Chains A and B, each alone.
Chain A
Amino acid sequence: AQTVTQSQPEMSVQEAETVTLSCTYDTSESDYYLFWYKQPPSRQMILVIRQEAYKQQNATENRFSVNFQKAAKSFSLKISDSQLGDAAMYFCAYRSESTGNQFYFGTGTSLTVIP
């Protein structure tokens, strides 16, 4: 089975500052997708950003960007200009052809934004 590791159970950041959440994964495949999901206290899981492994360019969505290091099997999420609404659990997820349609999720990082 694929494994996705988020080594930071909790992180905090000052409002307007930048924070980076870490994610590593284990795979022997070359083609796959990586995702970051946000789960605020409302518990709704929201897709934040998506990266295709065959693309070298790091994905960016407004204040959210990733640092995708394929050789190192690392997929970190950078949140710039942090806002109070960014406070949530963040989950990293992996999906490849060998996993079928199943996504494998990490255990999550709880992000606190300090006013």
Chain B
Amino acid sequence: DAGVIQSPRHEVTEMGQEVTLRCKPISGHNSLFWYRQTMMRGLELLIYFNNNVPIDDSGMPEDRFSAKMPNASFSTLKIQPSEPRDSAVYFCASSFEQGLSSYGYTFGSGTRLTVV
């Protein structure tokens, strides 16, 4: 398996533009997570899906952020309009969660977003 695949690896965009980050989870994993990492706030959970259904989006900063998971093999995180304070590394992670059984997340390589 190629692991969790994120694209793009780097994204530089101008303030006000729409940004779409993409993620392909590991086949067979039933949970998908979007995290944001910054120096100031560390790793923050934005949203997670279980069996393609959004379970908890309380970490999504505001209405400018939206996430979708149309099927088990693809998810997107969209920011519209983007702002300089959105600059961060965005990680996608997937896992197989069954009851309390947990084998840990597998993370993608992250997308470094810079909004100028």
Answer yes or no: do A and B interact: yes
Binding site for B on A (CB under 8 A): 31, 33, 35, 37, 42-47, 50, 91, 95-97, 100-103, 105-108
Binding site for A on B (CB under 8 A): 31, 33, 42-43, 45, 48, 50, 55-56, 89, 91, 93, 95, 97, 99-100, 102-107, 109-110, 112
Residue among A42, A50, A95, A107 with max Cβ neighbours from chain B (10 Å): A95
Enumerate chain B residues within 8 angstroms of A33, measured Cβ to Cβ: 100, 102, 104
Enumerate chain A residues within 8 angstroms of B31, measured Cβ to Cβ: 101
Asked if B91 contacts A45 (CB within 8 A), the reply is: yes
Enumerate chain B residues within 8 angstroms of A108, measured Cβ to Cβ: 42
A45, A97, A103, A107: the one within 8 Å of B100 (CB)? A97
Asked if B103 contacts A50 (CB within 8 A), the reply is: yes
Enumerate chain B residues within 8 angstroms of A100, measured Cβ to Cβ: 48, 55-56
In whole angstroms, how far apart are the Cα atoms of A46 and B93 in the complex? 11
Q: A43-B89, A44-B109 are in contact. Are A101 and B104 (CB under 8 A)?
A: no
